[in-house]
Amino acid sequence: MRNPQIIKLFLITALCTSFLFSFSYFGTAAYGKLFSDQGEFASGTFIGNEDVTDMDKSKVLTYMTEKQAQWVKETVLTLQFQEVTKDVKDIPAFYKFDVEQSISLAVSGKKNQLIAKIDEEKLNAILEEILPELYAEGIDQQTLIADLLMYATLLESGNHTIKLQNYLSGDLIEDEVIAESSTKISGKENVINMWEGNEASIEVAPHSQISFLDLAEERGGLQFEADEMSIISSALYKALLNTNFMITERHIGRLLPGYIEPGFEARVDSEKQMDFIFTNPNDHKYVINFQQLDKLLYVSVKGPKTIYTYQPSLKDKQTFKPKTIIQIDAKLPFGQKRIGTEGKEGILVNVYRDQVDEAGKIISSEKISEDFYPPVHEVLIYSLAIKKDKTDDSADSADNVPEDSVSIEDEKSESDAEKNSPEQKPDNKQNETGINKGTTRNANENDQDLWGLDNEAVK
**CA-to-CA distance for 129 and 171, rounded, in angstroms?**
22
| Sign of the CA dihedral running 336, 340, 342, 345 | negative
Question: What pLDDT shows up at residue 424?
Answer: 40
Q: Which of 303, 204, 307, 294 is nearest to 248 (CA)?
A: 204
**CA-to-CA distance for 230 and 207, rounded, in angstroms?**
25
Question: What pLDDT shows up at residue 334?
Answer: 83
* 77-114 pLDDT tens trace: 999 988 888 898 888 889 999 999 999 888 988 888 89
Question: What pLDDT shows up at residue 372?
Answer: 95
User: Which has more pLDDT, 131 or 425?
Assistant: 131
Question: What pLDDT shows up at residue 89?
Answer: 85
* 308-360 pLDDT tens trace: 999 999 999 999 999 988 888 888 888 888 888 888 899 999 999 999 988 88
**CA-to-CA distance for 290 and 270, rounded, in angstroms?**
21
Q: Are 79 and 130 in contact (CB under 8 A)?
A: yes
Q: Are 268 and 275 in contact (CB under 8 A)?
A: yes
Lowest model confidence (mean pLDDT) among 248-252, 365-369, 395-399: 395-399
Q: Which of 324, 281, 275, 328 is nearest to 306 (CA)?
A: 281
Question: What pLDDT shows up at residue 357?
Answer: 87
Q: Are 343 and 375 in contact (CB under 8 A)?
A: yes
Lowest model confidence (mean pLDDT) among 99-108, 292-301, 439-448: 439-448
Beta-bridge partner residues of 85: 80
Q: Considering the chain, what is the average pLDDT of its residues?
A: 78
| Sign of the CA dihedral running 444, 449, 450, 455 | positive
User: Which has more pLDDT, 390 or 125?
Assistant: 125
252: Cβ–Cβ under 8 A, 6 or more apart, which residues? 265, 266, 267, 371, 373
Give first-to-last CA distance, the chain, whole Å. 200
Lowest model confidence (mean pLDDT) among 218-222, 359-363, 391-395, 430-434: 430-434
Does the pLDDT of residue 168 top 50, yes or no?
yes
Does the pLDDT of residue 263 top 90, yes or no?
yes
**Diameter over CA atoms, the chain:** 200
E strand or H helix at 303: strand 296-304
What band does 253 get if pLDDT is binned at 50, 70 and 90?
very high
* 358-389 pLDDT tens trace: 888 999 999 999 999 999 999 988 888 654 55
Find the mean pLDDT for residues 211-223.
Answer: 79
Q: Are 333 and 362 in contact (CB under 8 A)?
A: no
Does the pLDDT of residue 421 top 70, yes or no?
no
442: Cβ–Cβ under 8 A, 6 or more apart, which residues? none
Find the mean pLDDT for residues 18-47.
Answer: 64
| Number of other CB atoms surrounding residue 334 within 10 Å | 13
Find the mean pLDDT for residues 150-166.
Answer: 89
Query: What percent of the chain has pLDDT above 70?
Result: 72
Q: Are 75 and 130 in contact (CB under 8 A)?
A: no
Helix, strand, coil in percent for the chain, rounding step 5: 35, 30, 35
**CA-to-CA distance for 98 and 331, rounded, in angstroms?**
100
* 34-51 pLDDT tens trace: 444 447 889 889 998 889
> Domain residues of the chain, as ranges?
1-35, 46-167, 174-306
Question: What pLDDT shows up at residue 199?
Answer: 58
Does the pLDDT of residue 72 top 60, yes or no?
yes
